[in-house]
Structure formats: structure tokens, C-alpha cells
Amino acid sequence: MSIKRFIFCALDFSDIDETIQFLNIIKNEVGGIKLGLEFFSKNGLNGIKRLKKFNLPIFLDLKLHDIPNTVKKTLLNIIDLEPNFLTIHLSGGKKMIEEVTAIKNQTKIIGVSMLTSLDKNDLCALGINISENEYVHRLVNLGLQSGIDGVVCSPNEVKELKVKYSNTDLFFVTPGIRLENDKIDDQKRLLSPGLAIKYGSSMLVIGRPITKSPDPVKSINNIKKDILRYFESKN
């Protein structure tokens, strides 16, 4: 089994040439790439077309969140590019989610529950007086009822969600992945790559520990070793 299939590198660059240059370094080491708003706002659909030439799965992380008709029309502009994955905010509501899942074609729709940069204090500031886990569970239930293929959740939530939804085909995407000596940056809910896979993650989205590394390939190999330790412990 190829360990690299779990690893999607978040290419959070604005410059297309810088993105391509970096991708040439890691293209054989990862299972796919994640493109977010930083890349998309500068390079748009043409930028995605250029990166599709690498023949790597593309996770388009736009976190769409607007009135249902606007999100639907946005997706219609994107869907011909056939991104493998596309994110939407589950807090956009049932109608918005259903508008997306009805026209997704082969693209897997991944629902964003609670950003890994948020915690209980942030929820309270928004007037949401429930625990992080309860908030995430409510959004995941809403998404599942509305036809999503997977969810983005922090490493802290994936274990419980994997157990709770074990009778479904729900796909779990986990950001907030750091090795023991990595810089935390602005993430608040973190876990190591191996433990995230052990707890049920289907995909690890990893950005700065790779893109800011002086040796990106070495960093990816360290991530693979951490994942491999979990698989070896199972046998």
C-alpha cells in the first residue's frame, strides 16, 4: 500500500510559477494537492487547468458559503474542471448543501464543520454555547442528510466521528497535522500524522510543515514514517 495516498500538500502560494516550481519538487511524493483561496483568488480556473497537467488529485478548498443559488452558480463554473474534491461550509444550511450535491458530478463534496483555528472561546464569542464536539456533530449530521461525501474535521474530532459514522462511507479530511517538533502556527487542534490515520482520517492536508521546510521531500518522508509506524503496529 502506498502511504503517500494519505498526504495532500496544501499549496498556499499566490504565484503560479512558484507553485509549479514547488510542485515539481514534491509531485512524486504526495497523493494529491490542495488549492485554496490564496491560489484561486490570484490564478482562477486557468491556474487550476495548468496544475491539472501534473495528473495529481486536486482538492479545491474554496469553503463555499453563500445563499444557495449563488453557491450553485459558482459550482457550475467550476465543475467542468472536475476537481476531485471541493469544500463547502456546512453552516451554509441544508438547502445550500443540497443545491451543491445535486450537481456535483464526480466531484466529492467535503463539508467544513469547524475550522481548526477555532476553539470553544471562539464559539462562545459567536453566541454558540455548546461544546466543539457537539457543534461539529450537528453540522456533520446536517451534511450527511444532505448528501455530502465527507467532512473536514480536526484530529481531535476524527476518532469519535469515525466511530459514530462507521456504518457510512463518510470520508474524513484532517488538517492541523504536525510532527512533534513542527511549529504550531495558527492551528489550535493538532495531532501527529500517524495518530490521525489511526483514528480514522482518510486524508491528511498538510501545508506549512512541507512548504516552509528547507527540505520538503525529507519532511514528507518523515510524515510517511510517522504514518508507517501505525501500520506496522497493527501487524
Give the chain's count of helices (H) and strands (E). Answer: 10, 8
Residue 218 CB neighbour total at 10 angstroms? 12
Q: CB–CB of 231/10 below 8 Å?
A: no
Q: CB–CB of 6/203 below 8 Å?
A: yes
Residue 64 CB neighbour total at 10 angstroms? 21
Catalytic residue status for 63: yes
From 27, 63, 104, 162, the catalytic residue: 63
Q: Which residues lie across from 7 on neighbouring strands? A: 204
Q: Which of 27, 25, 134, 45 is nearest to 86 (CA)?
A: 45
Q: CB–CB of 8/203 below 8 Å?
A: yes
Provide the grid cell at 70: 449563488
**Strand extents, DSSP E, 65-118:** 85-89, 108-112
Q: Read out DSSP for 7-26?
A: EEEE---S-HHHHHHHHHHH
Point out the residues that are catalytic: 63
